[in-house]
Amino acid sequence: MTTPATGNDRGLRAALASLRGNRPFRRLWFSNVFFFGGVWTQTLVLGWLAFEMTHSEFLVAVFTAARLAPMFLGPVAGAFADRHNRVRLLVVACGWAMGAVSVVAALATAGLLPYWVLVVGGLAIGLAQSPSQPARASLVLELVGRENLSNANALNAMALNMTQVIGPGLGGALIATVGAPAALWVSTAWYGASLVLLLPLRGYGKAVHDGTQSVLAMVAGGFRIIGRNRLAVAVLLVTLAANTLLWPVYQSFMPVFAQDSLGLDAAGLGALLTCCGIGGLVGSLVIAGLGDFRHKGGVFVIGTAVWASLWVLFALSRSVPLSFVLMCLIGLSSAAFGVLQTTLLLLTTAPDVHGRALGLQELAIGIMPLATLTLGAIAERAGLDRTVFGAGLLLVVALGVLTLRIPALLRFDGRRSA
């Protein structure tokens, strides 16, 4: 008779299947953990330094915009991922990030770091992070295959959630104990560890394009090919809508909710964000445990609609306990969107355009800084709670219209070629 402990153990083994039985993917996964751990640690430390230097919210925003600007290079980065060896691109990205942070850390240690160098350093670090994402995500399919793609992407999302929870906390603790320059050296070491883990994968990630076309021609060709793929376009539209309407709220406006709507201090804000991170970890683990499940498209659309609906309820809440519960559920439901947007994009497109499809996804995510400014301007006039309430409802309506126009997305499971 199977005991509950044995059943739980079997479920955990299923959730960790791609890590347990696939050494190349396991190396990539741990490399991602160290890479994004470095990203989140230095993001907090550099933001702290920017404010400490300037005491200007606007100049901190300028630094953040410079760091995020390379996301607009997504289509070009996707063409590079199709044209060149993907592992080599990741090795270059890790080495570039390690070098850029080292320069900033050395100048900060010597007390010679002006604000403009910090901005240039943020741009350089962004050039390592964002353009490498198409290569990083498309490599996963090669390493695990179609059947294990949902499991592997869920594990990658779990790694990202873990580093998003741990990295800023570690950065803050390091600033308090050893100072910001030393904290930057720690994040440099994280990039170094990521680089070392990638080196044994150099036999993977071979180019899928012959390289006879120019990069710009490949970008234009990718737009044409993907534009004719209704399922891929639908997935990209959901990504664009979510990053326009709701992700900026989590990224930028949670301190306003915490203070003005719930009366929380900084510790309360941290606890609120931790609840979301824990929910995201649990959601990613659940999707990982499902393996190659049916109706991935339906889970993606319905899960995203549930996520948007929970934001509507959160915008209305003035109860601290209820808000904490809702934030846990928001994190849990966000996994359906966060994991499956990449899984579906890879499953609905041909291998020779995977990099460019993921580059378009990076471009859709890159709308977030502009969307943040727009939502902030609306919130100034209408109030943040009304703005988020309206944005959540608008996303639910947009998802409904999209599924009426492209009902095949709800039925799509990825078990056959798109």
Which amino acid type is present at position 369? P
Contacts of 169 (CB under 8 A, 6+ apart): none
pLDDT of residue 298: 92
Distance (Å, rounded) from C-alpha 147 to C-alpha 5?
27
Radius of gyration (C-alpha) of the chain in whole angstroms: 21
For the segment 300-324, what is each residue's pLDDT rounded down to a tens digit? 999 999 999 999 999 998 898 999 9
Q: How confident is the model at residue 417 (pLDDT cuts 50, 70, 90)?
A: very low
State percent of the chain over pLDDT 90.
Answer: 27
Query: Residue 250 is inside which H or E element, if any?
Result: none
**At 112, is the secondary structure helix, strand, or coil?**
coil
Please list, in sequence order, all residues whose beta carbon lies within 8 angstroms of the beta carbon of residue 243, skipping any fewer than 6 positions away.
364, 365, 367, 368, 371
**Exposed (0-12), middle (13-18) or buried (19+): which is 202, by Cβ within 10 Å?**
exposed
| pLDDT at position 123 over 80 | yes
Q: What is the pLDDT of residues 14-69, one digit of tens each?
A: 777 788 878 999 999 999 999 988 887 887 788 778 878 887 767 776 777 788 78
Q: Look at phi and psi of residue 263 and say left if phi exceeds 0, alpha if psi is from -120 to 50, else beta.
A: left
Count other C-beta atoms under 10 Å from residue 108's C-beta: 23
Q: Would you say 135 and 86 are in contact if contact means Cβ atoms under 8 Å apart?
A: yes
Query: What tokens does 48 get?
Result: 């702290």
pLDDT of amino acid 415: 60
How confident is the model over 399-415, as pLDDT tens digits?
999 999 999 999 888 76
Q: What are phi and psi of 216, to 5 degrees?
A: -65, -40
**Taking the chain, what is the end-to-end CA distance rounded to the nearest angstrom?**
42
3-class DSSP state of 291: coil
The span from the CA of 329 to the CA of 280, in Å, is 9
Report the C-alpha gap between 248 and 371 in whole angstroms. Answer: 7
Cα–Cα distances (Å) from 240 to 163, 179, 233, 247, 365, in that order, read 24, 38, 10, 10, 6
Is the confidence at residue 5, as pLDDT, over 60?
no
- pLDDT of amino acid 284: 86
Collect all residues with Cβ–Cβ distance below 8 Å to 340 and sequence separation of at least 6: 150, 153, 287, 296, 299, 300, 303
The Cα–Cα gap between 226 and 356 comes to: 9
Of all residues in the chain, what percent carry a pLDDT higher than 70? 92
Mean pLDDT along residues 337-357: 88
For residues 238 and 165, the model is more confident at 238
Distance CA 265, CA 246 (A): 23
185 or 370, higher pLDDT: 185
How many Cβ atoms are within 10 Å of 413's Cβ, its own excluded?
Answer: 16
Distances (CA, A) of 3 to 15, 198, 290: 19, 40, 21
Q: How confident is the model at residue 185 (pLDDT cuts 50, 70, 90)?
A: very high
Sign of the alpha-carbon dihedral angle for 89, 95, 99, 100: positive
Other C-beta atoms lying within 10 Å of the C-beta of residue 154: 26
Query: From the DSSP assignment, how many helices (H) and strands (E) are in the chain?
Result: 21, 0
Contact 308, 399 (CB under 8 A): yes
With cut-offs at 50, 70 and 90, classify the pLDDT of residue 220: confident
